[in-house]
Structures are given as C-alpha cells and as structure tokens.
Structure 1
Amino acid sequence: MTTPIMTESDLRAAVARELPGVRADLERLVRIPGIAFEGFDHTQVERSAEAVAELLRGCGLDVDIVRAGGQPAVIGRKAAPPGAPTVMLYAHHDVQPVGDRALWESDPFEPVERDGRLYGRGAADDKAGIMAHVAALRAFGDRLPVGVVLFIEGEEEYGSDSLERLLAEHRDKLASDVIVIADSTNWDVGVPALTTSLRGIVNCFVEVRTLNHAVHSGMFGGAVPDALTTLVRLLATLHDDAGNVAVEGLVGKEEASVDYPEDRFRAEAGLVEGATLIGTGRITDRLWTKPALAVLGIDAPATAEAPNALVPAAKAKLSVRLAPGDDPKRAYAVLSDHLRKHAPWGAQVTVTFEHDGAPCVIDATGPVCDAARSAFRTAWDGTDPVDIGVGGSIPFIATFQEMFPQASILVTGVEDPHARAHGPNESLHLGEFARVCLAEALLLSRVAAAARG
C-alpha cells in the first residue's frame, strides 16, 4: 500500500505540533558543552554525540556513532520508499569555545529566552540545524516521502580534520541524491536565503625575531629593533591605506548579486561610532568574492608583566579568507612569500602553516533548487529567498562536491545576521527557527514530488 502523501496544511499542523518538544530537546543539547578543541573535556563531545544518536533513534532511524581518528560523528539512516530519492541532512553537534564568560549576559550553557531569541552557545550554530532536521522527521512520522541519511559531525568547529576519512569509510551509507547542509545563515529576519558560494580559509602563524635574547630598552633602544614593533610593521604591509588586502597573487572578484546597505551592516557588525569600513567596492563583494585577512592573536609580553626590555621575538596568528576560485595551497605560498619579502630591518621571519580549506561555488539551478525556493517561499509567507555568498568558510562542502558529484547540494541556514555565532551571546531567533523547520519539511515533500515528476 502506498503511504498517503502529506499536504501542505498537514505539514504546517504537524510542525506546529512538534515545535514545543523540538525546542525542549534543543535546550537539552545546548546544555552540553561539546567543544572539540584541544584542552577541553572531550567526554562532553561524546555525551553530545550520544544525545544526538538518541534523538535520531527516536525518529525511527538506524543509528551509528562513528569515528575516524577524531571526535564522534552520528550517522542515521532510513531507507527510501520505492522510487523515491535519498536526502542527506547535515549538521554538526560540536560548538565553539565560549571565550570570556564575563561578556555573556547569561550562562552560555544554560539556554535563556529573551525577546524572542534563545541564547546559548550552539543555540544557532549548529544545534538548531540538528533540531530542524529532527523537526521535519517528527512532522512526517512514518509517512516520510524520501529516504534520509543524517550525518551529524562532531568536530566541524575544530576544522573537520577527520571528515574526509569518515566520508571515505562510510561512503556507501552516505550516498544520496540531495545533500542539505544546515549550517549557514539567512539574509535577514523574515528573508530566507540559499547560500551559493563560500570563501575558503588559510590560517598560519608568523614569527619575527630580532634578538637572541631580551636586552635593556634604555641601553639598546634606538639602535636595536624590538620584535614587537617589527611585527607590527610587518602586519601593516598586509593591507593598503584603504584596507584592501595587499598580498599580491590572491584572487579577488566583483560579482556579488546583491548589495548590503551600509547602515544595516554597521549595526549588525556592532561597529563603534566613528569607525570606518575597510576595503573598496560593494560591501557584499568585500564579504563574499574578495579575500580578507585578519590578525587573530599575538604572542608577546602582557602589559602588566612587561619589563623595560626589548622583546626578542613576537608571533601572530593570521587568518585569510579566500575568494571563490582561489586555491588554498597557492594562497599560503603567496602569503608566505609576502611576509618574508617584507620583513622589516632584516628580521628573521618564520611562517608556519596551521590549516586550510577550499572555497566553493554551488550550482543553484535545477529541480531540487526550484523545490527549495518554493518551500522557502511558502514557509516565509510569500517572501522569495535571496541567493547569497557567505564570507565564512565551510571547507567540507568542497569535499562533498568532490565525493558525491551527482548530488544536488543545498546550503541552508538557521542563523540570521543577529545570531552572533562564535561570539558571546550567541542566539537563535525562535520565530525564524519555526519557519526553518517548516521549510525543511516542505522541502523534503517537494523533492519527493519532483522525483515523481
């Protein structure tokens, strides 16, 4: 007997029915501090994986917790009805470290609602992505019109070091016709988006040395360069006077499809009064299709402990976001060459690679993308989704493209520009989350309908 197809009104009612339980389970996940970074308690990542596995089993999926030398991922499967496609639903259960807890208005691992937003580390990035998948599965119950494979990663925030091994080892289990990656953002509160490009990343360390050891700043200052001043001068060569990245050889384009109003962008970024934006051209090009370079940290004496001595060595961590079309290995090479070439005062410069990830462009055409746009338009009451680029990096998308070349990839989002993912007071807009859950249920229904023709 053919399983009865759920109508749009059926799905609306089912998602609304499931949302209270979905939110309660999201709050339970947020309470688990599953941080995959070195130096943190990785038993909490294990606990997080077990909690996700339990949720998927509750949806009737066959579930395995898997590892490939890194943190645990969760794979859940439910076979497709005859003739129906299989959809992979991706999210990650690990979270970023919280940083300075004094900057949080509430405990980062105790979810709190304020003004329609749920605050807590991972509430948006990306435990809400997990729960959007769960909400859709619960809404369908035993009437799911497609096969599903849920792949919930456990170390995305730490760089997905074991992801390629996991994909290779479980390739047959993960094979899908459509891949939905719920780890991006929407254009605004009330305006959905499909992400069609993401920048890549290269992180590295640069160390300058001018002395074999510290010396008296009065006895030698004025003739001997200290390493911290030398490092500052070297870092200043990375941008021109307008703030554009000045490393020759990095790819940059001007091809963003929409622009970002400056007043809105300044407010969402939290720019202080009087500070100007850096770079030239449209804001969306600066964020999506041109490189960016930031100094993430500096190793040098703390001001409270600094003696009156010239610093012999200083080190900085750099992060380059690469425009689509660039290559991470080549970008690291040109950055390294730039740093060595511009060493002030003959300082010794050492550049050390940390990690990288490829940028990507996603083909947003075809029946699957049409189904996604239709689902979003319905869930957002007639508002068309915007095709956006993202300045952040999700390097594994390029890996998915390589390993599953026949699959249609959709990059969707649970976040909005006010979510503050990775920062203090991360939050999820609960009204938008309800729309995301409905949109995913509608998407699965319409993907199935498109396959039926």
Structure 2
Amino acid sequence: MTPEEIESAVEAGMPQAVEDLRRLVAIPSVAFPGHPDEPVLAAAAMTEELLRGAGLPNVRQIPVEGSFPAVFAEAPAPEGAPTVLLYAHYDVQPPGDSAQWRTSPFEPTMIDGAMYGRGAADDKSGVIAHVAALRAFDGEFPVGVKVIVEGQEEYAGERLEDFVEANPDLVRADAIVVADCGNPRLGEPALTTTLRGMAAFTVEVRTLRESLHSGAFGGAAPDALGALMRMLSALHDDRGDVRVPGLPQGTFEGGSEETDDDFRATAGVLDGVSLVGSGSVADRLWSSYAITVTGLDVPTVSGAINAVQAVARARVTIRIPPAGDAKTALDDVTGFLQKVAPWGAQVTFGDFVTGSGFMAGSGGRARAAIDRAMERAFGRAPRDVGQGGSIPLVAKLSGLFPEAEILLYGAEDGDSSIHAPNERVNLDELRKVITAEALFLANYGA
C-alpha cells in the first residue's frame, strides 16, 4: 500500500474506531481488589473481538496466573519481513471521586473533539490504535504481527512479566511497540526513550496501645500521627528536593522544550504556588528520584474526635531514574524513615512493590521507520521525551530481547488527565497516532 492509500484507509475507518473506543470505555474494567471481575473479563472479550475483526488469523485469551487473561493475537510474517509486537492494556484505574468528574467516568462523552471517560486515553486508546492501524491493511500485513493486551497493568503488571519470562518465544519480535505513552502537547509527536522505575510501600507508626483523650493525655502522650507527619516531611528539603542519602538528582540528556510555565499550565498549579525541586522540568520529571505520599490512614476531618492517635499509616511511592535500582531505593527510603522516626516510635513497613525503569538504545531500522511515519502523520519530526511513570513489562522485554528495538508512543497528551478525574483523549490525536502506526508497519516491512 502507498502512504496515500494507508492514510485514506485510516480516515475511512475512523468512525468505526471511535465507536469501538466508546464501547470499550463504557466497560468499567478496573482490575483492582474490591472491584468486580465481570467488567474486566468483558473488556478482555471485547479486545479479543476487536483483534479478530482487524484481520488477525490467530486470536485467543491466555490465562495469566494470579491475574486477568492477556489477549494474544498473531499473523505470520511475509517471507523476509520482520515481526512487530504490539502492546497495550485493557484495564483502567479506578475512577476516584465521582464528584470531581464533569461527566460520568464510564459513560463516554464527546466534548469539543475529545472523548471523556476513564481509560479513554490510558490505555484503551492504545488498544484502538493497534486495532485501527491493522485494519488499514485488510488482512494483508507488511510485517509479521504479534499483539498482547494485558488486563492488570494498572494494579499488578509484574504478573505479566512473570508470564513473559516463562514464555519468551510467544512474544519474541524484531521490534516492540508499546502504545501506553503520548505526546507532551497535542500535535507534537514524541517517542518516549526513558521510563522511571518505581517502588512503593506502606509505613505504619505505633506509639500507644490505644488512642487516648487529647485533653487528659495530650502534651505528654506520643502521637503516632504527629510522628508520621514529621517522618514524611523529612523526606524533602525546603525546596522540595529529595533529601534521602543515596538518591541524587539526575539530568535528562535528551533535552526538553518544556518550561516551568508550560508545566505550571499543564499541571494546573495554582497562582502563587511554586514548583518543587531544582533543575529543569525534564530533569525533575524523567531523570531524578521523586517521593510522593499517595495515601494516609488517619481519622477524617468529618469523623475526627479529640484523641491522641495510637497508630497511623501512609502509602509512599518512589519514582526512580532509569539507571537506578528499585530495591536499593526502597531500602534507602525505608531506612531513612526508620532513622528519623521521633520518640522511639515503633515503625514497620509492608506491601512492597517494585518496577524497573527503561532507557532506549540509539535506534536502528525501526526507529528510522517510526520517525518517517510520525513526520508524515503529524507534519513534523518526533522528539525524544522521558516519562515519569513506569510500565512494568518494558524493562522485562528489554532484558529478554536486547536486540529488539522498543518504541513507546501513543495518543495520550499532557492534558489527558490520566489517573485523574475527567480523563480524555483527543480524537484527532488518536487519528494521527493510528496513521503513524500504520505507516510505520509499512515502512518497517519495506
């Protein structure tokens, strides 16, 4: 197919792609504990249906121990052509506080050329990007195709890592496309070349056998909540830089066009509130350690009583530069919190999670093919960016297949509000990504 034929096929297929995305986003496929299994399995079934409809001859669901099924599909390579593995995930984050959503999170809503709904961007747009790009070839693919779409990336993606490690030939490919990233801004194509790793844990502080009346005991009885607050505030200096020994600030080598003002606008930082940390925005987001308290188990304001707390808990997440080691960072942070705990408070840690980062190589045939494809689809060449988040499977694939080129891109953008209320995907951005992927497959197979 010529580039013009590919573009026409993608354009003609967009109404179906949008309708498929709407149907998929309407399924509340939250794979977190406490949420029902049925919607997640329904999303797996629809993903299987979509891949069959994209012309792939072999499609099936594969059980993943301790997790939801992965949907796998494949088509053999034409003689002499390379094979491409396409990855996405069909599970989504919980919607959170429904009062903060302007539309219902699982009732996809069109507003000003964008679809709003949980998972519209992360990562059901990735599923649809693969499906729609493959449809453009009407079953005559220029490369060998393998597709794996997992069902529990948001909560426990390491389970698919274990499966892939045990079944490497199933996903072996010359190039790997991970459609779970995006562009900093609409219309500005980017390839993610670094991913921070992550670690997370729960810290519990105990100071008393049970909570006590603050009037009778406050002032002498050690408050577990106060102790925990002191410990957590010690993790950063006054500027907001991480002050845990062994976790230095890094530098992003790829450069960045984003300024502090750009970031303030994208992040919605309130007037008069400063950014935290030092170095460039790219340094802070993509190449340095970051520590965030993501949850607290303490009495709510509405349910507060006059008591000195006996126990308090926090969930803490560490983002780790690509070259950093998640286990070492976990040990450094937990050791630091233990050291700064006041008043001899009893401190314990649990619920550990770790994930490795990723750094792309210099690029070869696949990178050249996607560069040309993106430049045609977007009207400008892509630039390299990092991503502060982690994708558990990427580091595993990089280790298993060091000779394979891994390309990370997608239809998300800086205003997509992934993992937040009012998530959305811009449909013209999605069209450009679908076009770029189809052109890439043709370029790479030529």
Q: Normalization by structure 2: what TM-score?
A: 0.97
For 1:9-408, list aligned pairs within 5 A: 9-61=4-56, 62-69=58-65, 70-256=67-253, 257-381=255-379, 383-408=380-405
C-alpha contact (below 8 Å) 1:29/1:48 kept by paired residues: yes
Gaps of 5+ in 2: none
How far residue 107 of structure 1 moved from its aligned partner, in angstroms, is 1.1
Among 411, 415, 420, the alignment partner of 1:418 is 415
Structure 2 distance, partners of 1:284, 1:161, is 27
SS of residue matched to 1:183: coil
The secondary structure found in structure 2 opposite 1:77 is: strand
Q: Give the corresponding residue for 1:430.
A: 427
**Which digits, 9 at most, give the CA deviation of each residue in 1:4-59, with x for residues without a partner?**
xx001110111111111111111110111111100001111111101010111112
Bigger Cα displacement from structure 2, 356-365 vs 126-135: 356-365
Which stretch shifts more, 300-309 or 44-53? 300-309
Partner of 2:138, secondary structure, is helix
Partners of 2:302 and 2:100 in 1: how far apart? 21
TM-superposed deviation, 1:306: 2.1
Distance 2:115 2:390 in 1: 24
**C-alpha deviation, 1:395, in angstroms:** 2.4
Query: TM (normalized to structure 1)?
Result: 0.96
Q: CA deviation at 1:443?
A: 0.4
Tell me, in whole angstroms, the C-alpha distance in 2 between the residues paired with 1:251 and 1:242: 14
Question: What is the aligned residue count?
Answer: 443
Deviation, 1:364, is 4.0
Query: Is contact 1:251-1:326 (8 Å) kept?
Result: no
Aligned-pair distance for 1:251? 4.4
Once the two structures are overlaid, the 10-residue window that deviates more, 407-416 or 167-176, is 167-176
Tell me if the contact between 1:32 and 1:47 (Cα under 8 Å) persists in the aligned partners.
Answer: yes
CA displacement at 1:385 relative to structure 2: 0.6
Report the secondary structure of 1:336's partner residue.
helix
CA-CA distance at 1:223 after TM superposition: 1.6
CA shift, 1:222, in A, is 1.2
CA distance in 1 between counterparts of 2:158 and 2:365 reads: 33
| Identity over aligned pairs, percent | 46
Q: Which amino acid letter does the alignment assign opposite residue 389 of structure 2?
A: G
Per the alignment, in what secondary structure is the counterpart of residue 302 of structure 2?
helix
CA shift, 1:418, in A, is 0.6
Deviation string, structure 1 residues 373-415 (Cα, Å, up to 9, x no partner): 111000012x111100111111221001112222111011210
RMSD between superposed Cα atoms in Å:
1.1
What is the alpha-carbon distance in structure 2 between the residues aligned to residue 332 and residue 168 of structure 1? Answer: 24
Aligned mates of 2:378, 2:228 — CA distance in 1: 50
1:346 positional shift? 1.5
Q: In the alignment, is the contact (CA less than 8 A) between 1:45 and 1:72 conserved in 2?
A: no
- Tell me by how many angstroms 1:169 deviates: 4.3
Shift of 1:77: 0.6
Distance 1:172 1:359 in 2: 23
Partner of 1:3: none
Q: Write the distance in 1 (CA, Å) between the matches of 2:241 and 2:124.
A: 35
* C-alpha displacement of 1:359: 1.1
Paired residue secondary structure (1:162):
helix
Post-superposition CA distance 1:274-313 (Å, at most 9, x none): 1110001111100010011111111011222222111011
C-alpha separation between the residues in 1 aligned to 2:421 and 2:252? 32
Residue 420 of structure 2 aligns with an amino acid whose one-letter code is G
